[in-house]
Structure 1
Amino acid sequence: MNTSFKTIVISDVHLGTKGAKAKEIAHFLKQYRCENLILNGDIIDGWQLKKSGSWKRKHTRFFNRVLKMIENHNTNVYYLRGNHDDFLDQILPLQIGRLHIQTDMIYESAGKKYFITHGDVFDSITSNLRWIAYLGDIGYTFLLWLNRIVNYYRYKAGLPYFSLSQYVKGKVKQAVSYIDDYEEELAKMAKSKGCDGIICGHIHKAENRMIDGIHYLNSGDWVETMSALAEDHDGNWQLIYYYEIDFKSQLKPEPKEDSPWGEIREVAFENRKEDLDSPSYRF
């Protein structure tokens, strides 16, 4: 399949934490080319860096990869603020060449308009559910630690990866209710802004579906799911999962003399299943 997309959206990388898959996401971005790369919040985890987190060389390599996309492929990069990288408030909005740092944005493509936001705005809309933010910061960190132990023994036993946090989210009634309310409220927000869809992250649950006529898209995360949203040049969106990409079958081809980028590689993957003033971008 073609590895050239119009737009790729990723979120919730949480660089600076032990759970961040910095090496994997840099590898992922190396496989693709896109006109627009949208980093939809929580790319850097400022909360954890203030406490027990640490910045490593592999975290820097992620940004080196993004800069190479700008330099080599003229990719437009939009870094949107999340709740864990709220330190960006001190410099917003900021534009340096093809790099844009801002709160949110409206994206227009193929005759449709999407409101793009990290999604933590929902926590302020439903203040009675703000406990989930603290659960996400404290309880989720604990679950990730416990998950590494569980999956170590599962690996030894020849068993597949198991997401303890996703299991808990699916079993705890309050968490299920929160996710349902979250998706529905953001769909309402998109409709109130006159948009056809909404693109978000925040809850670490990748999704691509319709809610009351609104196209709801969630890019997931790069702590467990390792997923991204990709839009082809016809305006079609799909979820791409890192674990489903067949990297081993990819042999690096010799660059063609008549192409400045060389031959585009192929990867195998399949689909899986308020009011803020925002600048408008048309691509």
Structure 2
Amino acid sequence: MILRKYYPTIVLSDIHLGSEHSRTEEVTRFLKHVDCDRLILNGDIIDGWQLKKSGKRWKQKHTDFFKVLMKMMEKRGTEIIYVVGNHDDFLDSLAPFKFSNISIVKDYLLKTRQGKRYFVTHGDIFDTVTTHMRWLAMLGDVGYTFLLWLNKVYNHRRERQGKPYFSLSQEVKHRVKSAVSYISEFEKELVRLAEAKHLDGIICGHIHQAANVWYGNVHYLNSGDWVESMTALVEDEQGEWDIVTYNNNVQLYADAV
């Protein structure tokens, strides 16, 4: 019998089903070990850009992921909110859509038990490259995919040497000044939106960089991704937020932030 950890709200983003680098089995296993009242899928769950490529196809593991979602809705009454991102923008024409306890939306206003209000958006609309220069965004996606391939090769070698997993692409993000500046500006832009709407916080994804920080009175949360870091945002019963990181032993570690 699986013992499930309960959270009122769980937020996942950037799973990229269809990409060879998606940690699909891991996120499916993660969902089998948690219970929640509300599951927010905050964009880029399906990678339409990758599935359009020659030779790419829908696999059984992708279907298994959605079977778990259906079971969560049917057996446990979980409400699922699917916020459309840029890699799954083929769903744009459906939003807003609601059937039973699943919704497809472009953004979402989350009200917590404590009365806090968070604006939920994938975040791509605040990225000038993805909104105004799609061709450049897709070119950047090719570069990122190559970096993930290098990351995979590098970590296979580390595994043979008995060393732990190390995210090469995350390290590049931290070391390259332009990447650090981009992340900082992205966060500040979203914080300004929350301030303009007089909200308590913002929840996003898109940049594959999990975060749980405060900008003044605005709470900035980013759920990370399931390509490299395998992270989720969780709200506990006291209304506090944590980033949890999955590992292959099906243990969840709350990050100290």
TM-score per shorter chain, which class? over 0.9
Please give the alpha-carbon distance, in whole angstroms, between the structure 1 residues aligned to 2:130 and 2:154.
Answer: 34
Matched AA of 1:48: Q
Secondary structure of 1:217's aligned partner: strand
1:69 matched residue in structure 2: 72
Say whether the 8 Å CA contact 1:124–1:130 is kept in structure 2. no
Shift of residue 133, structure 1, vs aligned partner: 3.2
1:80 matched residue in structure 2: 83
Structure 1: where are the runs of 5+ without partners?
248-266, 274-283
1:55 matched residue in structure 2: 58
Matched AA of 2:110: Y
What is the TM-score with the length of structure 2 in the denominator? 0.92
Say whether the 8 Å CA contact 2:81–2:102 is kept in structure 1. yes
1:150-169 map, 5 Å? 150-169=154-173
Matched AA of 1:149: V
Instruction: Select the structure of larger CA radius of gyration.
Output: 1
Call closer, same or farther: CA 1:100–1:224 in 2, change over 3 Å.
Answer: same
Call closer, same or farther: CA 1:18–1:82 in 2, change over 3 Å.
Answer: same
1:259 matched residue in structure 2: none
Say whether the 8 Å CA contact 2:245–2:252 is kept in structure 1. no
Say what the alpha-carbon RMSD is for the aligned residues.
2.1
What is the TM-score with the length of structure 1 in the denominator? 0.84
Structure 2: where are the runs of 5+ without partners?
none
2:7 matched residue in structure 1: 5
User: Where does structure 1 differ by over 2 angstroms across 4 or more consecutive aligned residues?
Assistant: 124-136, 267-273
Say whether the 8 Å CA contact 1:78–1:100 is kept in structure 2. yes
Q: Is residue 208 of structure 1 aligned with residue 212 of structure 2?
A: yes
Say whether the 8 Å CA contact 1:9–1:228 is kept in structure 2. yes
Please give the alpha-carbon distance, in whole angstroms, between the structure 1 residues aligned to 2:224 and 2:131.
Answer: 23
1:91 matched residue in structure 2: 94
Say whether the 8 Å CA contact 2:14–2:45 is kept in structure 1. yes
Please give the alpha-carbon distance, in whole angstroms, between the structure 1 residues aligned to 2:64 and 2:132.
Answer: 39
Please give the alpha-carbon distance, in whole angstroms, between the structure 2 residues aligned to 1:166 and 1:131.
Answer: 24
1:145 matched residue in structure 2: 149
Q: How many residues align?
A: 253
Please give the alpha-carbon distance, in whole angstroms, between the structure 1 residues aligned to 2:4 and 2:52.
Answer: 41
Say whether the 8 Å CA contact 1:123–1:130 is kept in structure 2. no
Matched AA of 1:141: T
1:1-283 map, 5 Å? 3-52=5-54, 53-109=56-112, 110-124=114-128, 133-134=137-138, 136-243=140-247, 246-247=249-250, 269-273=253-257
1:173-224 per-position Cα deviation (integer Å, ceiling 9, x unaligned): 1111100000111111111111100000000000101012210000000001
Say whether the 8 Å CA contact 1:123–1:129 is kept in structure 2. no
Please give the alpha-carbon distance, in whole angstroms, between the structure 2 residues aligned to 1:112 and 1:203.
Answer: 24
